[in-house]
Chain A
């Protein structure tokens, strides 16, 4: 009897001795990523956004995400890695015909089922989240406010929601969710000035790795398809029109006359605006087709195509901006009398 109880006491003692260790061990492993953040001063909204940018550009990761647009879902995949100091991203659609692209070293190659592959020169990353991950948030403070909305769970990860609110009604607002651990963007909501959700991108699976995906490295070593130059870009002439008003934060990045990629007989005056997140194209051309109304509007998610006929001309505005912006831009167009 005595023997048994003494054994028990020893056993209990041992247990007591080990428990603190096992608990300490647990807190070390599980809570380490969160603990320092909670003890220190938490990053501000803009700091989170900048950390997100850094993570998006520098980390090796693989995401599978859904794009939701006008009640249609499209699953896609992005693999990103840094090979010899430069970013490589591979993208593909997961459903339907095979469409994939590979971007690195100032070129983007497209591979499409049933069509020859080709490469374009482009420094502009248009893969998922690239627009928000390459935006200058410090400069953006002039036109946006950044507010932390709260925390939630996306793709099984603790994440933080930050709202990027436009200060005026001439651009959309965004809600960006970032993984608290890796700080990668996990969800993006594009919200109209009247608070309607227009488009949504949501990660469903995220894999972050220390080392770059070896398959990605292999891709960069293979010869790429032939580079295609686009003839119409050679036009030197500037357009005969200019805008007398621009939404705050936008600048004119292109101003030329070119033939449309699809319709080579048609010459258009062209102006492109950029605010760091979205681009707007303005096309001015002689009126060819009669419209039953003076103006037409098409909206697809956040993209707007606004057509207005003015006298003998027709103006089309294409871009991810609210309708009010498109309308006001058309109104502001003036004919440049001199070529200067």
Chain B
């Protein structure tokens, strides 16, 4: 053990190493851990780039210890509540979450605060493959201040637009 450690440290210091000890190192998990610690110590001593400790394994282990996936429980735990089966026609939005109708318009509120006029003339031309980086989509949205509308009127307007958007989403969902 001590000997291999010496080999390790000579490996780090770029001293003569034979391929046998390299192989041994590669096949020995414990040695690898020692190696990475030595490397780290070396880095710290040389004051090289900030310590970069890989704690992902520990974090994952911690996560694994947590009670089973929270995301799963609602599905299992949700026994249908006993109610009269024939009369469960209810005001949908009042009683339930709005996820169904907000799912694809997560940005509704943000969106309605952006009143757009005519979009800026979009650059035309043939799109060349691979020139559109991910996340680099252009979306010409200009903020147009509606000075003439009072704050209250604007708010009413936004509420109505939101109602329309959500109704649209719901209509899509319950389409047969």
Interface residues of A (CB under 8 A from B): 66, 68-74, 92, 98-102, 108-112, 114-118, 120-124, 126, 149-150, 152, 161, 189, 191-192, 194-200, 202, 215, 219, 222-231, 233, 253-254, 260-264, 266, 268, 270, 272, 274, 279, 281, 283, 288-292, 296-301, 303, 305, 307, 316, 318-319, 323
A71 touches B171 (CB 8 A): no
A-B contact pairs, 18 of them (CB 8 A): A68-B137, A70-B107, A72-B107, A98-B70, A99-B99, A101-B103, A110-B97, A118-B97, A152-B130, A230-B89, A254-B171, A260-B164, A260-B166, A263-B160, A292-B146, A298-B112, A298-B114, A298-B115
List the B residue with the shortest CB-CB distance to A106.
Answer: B176
Chain A residues lying within 8 Å of B111, measured Cβ to Cβ, are 298, 300, 305
A178 CB to nearest B CB, Å:
15
Q: Which of B112, B136, B166, B174 has the most CB of A within 10 A?
A: B174
Q: Kindly supply a per-residue 1/0 record for chain B positions 50-91, scoring 1 wherever the CB is within 8 Å of any chain A CB and 0 otherwise.
A: 000000000000000000001110111011110100001111
Grouping DSSP codes into helix (H, G, I), strand (E, B) and loop, the B interface class, with mixed when no group exceeds half, is loop
Tell me the bound Cα distance from A73 to B135 in angstroms: 7
A219 touches B75 (CB 8 A): yes
Tell me the bound Cα distance from A316 to B127 in angstroms: 32
Tell me the bound Cα distance from A25 to B12 in angstroms: 38
A226 touches B88 (CB 8 A): yes
Known interface pairs A233-B174, A260-B166, A279-B175; 18 further A-B residue pairs with C-beta atoms within 8 A, sorted by A's residue number: A70-B107, A98-B74, A99-B103, A115-B96, A122-B175, A191-B127, A195-B127, A199-B137, A223-B78, A224-B80, A263-B160, A283-B164, A291-B157, A297-B117, A297-B119, A298-B116, A300-B114, A301-B139
B104 touches A299 (CB 8 A): no
Chain A residues lying within 8 Å of B71, measured Cβ to Cβ, are 92, 98, 100
Given the interface pairs A117-B74, A292-B148, A305-B165, the reply to whether A150 lies near B129 with Cβ below 8 Å is yes
B121 CB to nearest A CB, Å:
8
The B9-67 residues at the A interface (CB cut-off 8 A) are: none
B117 touches A120 (CB 8 A): no
Chain A residues lying within 8 Å of B115, measured Cβ to Cβ, are 296, 298
Tell me the bound Cα distance from A69 to B157 in angstroms: 24
Tell me the bound Cα distance from A194 to B120 in angstroms: 11
B119 touches A262 (CB 8 A): no
Interface residues of B (CB under 8 A from A): 70-72, 74-76, 78-81, 83, 88-93, 95-101, 103-107, 111-112, 114-119, 122-127, 129-130, 132, 134-141, 146, 148-149, 153, 156-157, 159-168, 170-176
Tell me the bound Cα distance from A251 to B75 in angstroms: 37
Quick one: which of A296, A299, A307 contacts B141, CB cutoff 8 A?
A: A299
B146 touches A161 (CB 8 A): no
Tell me the bound Cα distance from A233 to B90 in angstroms: 12
B154 CB to nearest A CB, Å:
10
Tell me the bound Cα distance from A78 to B2 in angstroms: 51
Tell me the bound Cα distance from A98 to B125 in angstroms: 41
Quick one: which of B98, B137, B146, B161 contacts A197, CB cutoff 8 A?
A: B137
Tell me the bound Cα distance from A223 to B76 in angstroms: 7
A229 CB to nearest B CB, Å:
5
Quick one: which of A71, A227, A318 contacts B137, CB cutoff 8 A?
A: A71
Chain A residues lying within 8 Å of B134, measured Cβ to Cβ, are 66, 68, 200, 202
A102 touches B75 (CB 8 A): yes
Chain B residues lying within 8 Å of A274, measured Cβ to Cβ, are 175
A336 CB to nearest B CB, Å:
20
List the B residue with the shortest CB-CB distance to A266.
Answer: B163
